[in-house]
Amino acid sequence: MKLPTLLSLLGTLFLLLFHSVQVVAKDDDKSTTQDCEKLGFSTLVLCSDCQLLGQYVSDDSLVAECMGCCAEETQSNKKYEKAVLEICKHRLPAYPHINDFISRQVKEYTNKVEVKFKYGAYPRIILKNSAGKTGESVRIDSWQPEHLVEYLADKLIAGEGSVASDDEKDIL
Position 50 scores a pLDDT of 85
Do 62 and 117 have their domain in common?
no
If we measure between CA atoms, which residue out of 37, 40, 44 comes closest to residue 7? 40
What is the model's pTM? 0.53
76, part of any domain: no
Position 23 scores a pLDDT of 41
**What is the domain count for the chain?**
2
165, part of any domain: no
Position 75 scores a pLDDT of 59
Position 3 scores a pLDDT of 56
Position 46 scores a pLDDT of 74
13, part of any domain: no
Q: What is the dihedral of CA 66, 67, 73, 78, to 10 degrees?
A: -120
Do 91 and 149 have their domain in common?
yes
74, part of any domain: no
Do 98 and 123 have their domain in common?
yes
Do 56 and 116 have their domain in common?
no
Position 118 scores a pLDDT of 94
30, part of any domain: no
Task: State the CATH number of the domain containing residue 124.
Answer: 3.40.30.50
Q: Is the dihedral of CA 133, 135, 140, 144 positive or negative?
A: negative
Tens-of-pLDDT digits for all 172 residues of the chain?
A: 565 555 555 555 554 444 333 344 344 445 676 778 788 876 567 787 888 888 888 889 988 888 888 777 655 678 999 999 999 999 999 999 999 999 999 989 888 999 999 999 999 999 998 888 888 889 999 899 999 999 999 999 987 554 544 443 433 3
Q: Which domain holds residue 42?
A: 36-68
